[in-house]
Amino acid sequence: MTPAFTPSHLGICVRNLERSLRFYCDGLGFEKAETFDVTDAFGKALEVEGEVVGTSQFIRRGGMRIEFLAYRSPGATGEPSRRRNQLGITHLSFVVDDVDAAARHLVSCGGRLLPDTRTGSDPSSTELVFV
């Protein structure tokens, strides 16, 4: 018998918690939810070596929950995905009435527009842009 799985949340490691909250809350309409301290007690489970000090900040919108993991120690490593064919999570998608207005709003909330990703200016085609 297959066990029942109920979605809980998606975790994202962030460099700057306040900037991420501004983009997701002010820009995308998420609400700040639970906040937890991240300590050495969670280091092994999170696969983080060394002294672990950080914050786990949940945000929610409707039934979607995202957990930001912001590490003060040892700090975040690596670079965010820059292509949609890079392994791992590639994007979080939203439906909007006006793609360009939505992109401008997200840029005003700290997002970075990727102009070469803009497609479908024809009303009969799918419009998208990555921010």
In tens, the pLDDT along 62-79 reads 999 999 999 999 999 988
The reported pLDDT for the residue numbered 69 is 95
Length of the chain: 131
Helix, strand or coil, per DSSP, at residue 89: coil
The reported pLDDT for the residue numbered 30 is 98
- Give mean pLDDT, residues 37-65: 93
The reported pLDDT for the residue numbered 125 is 79
What are phi and psi for residue 79, nearest 5 degrees?
-125, 145
- Give mean pLDDT, residues 23-37: 97
pTM of the predicted structure, to 2 decimals: 0.88
Whole-angstrom distance between the N-terminal and C-terminal Cα of the chain?
42
Q: Who's near 25: CB < 8 A, 6+ residues apart?
A: 31, 32, 59
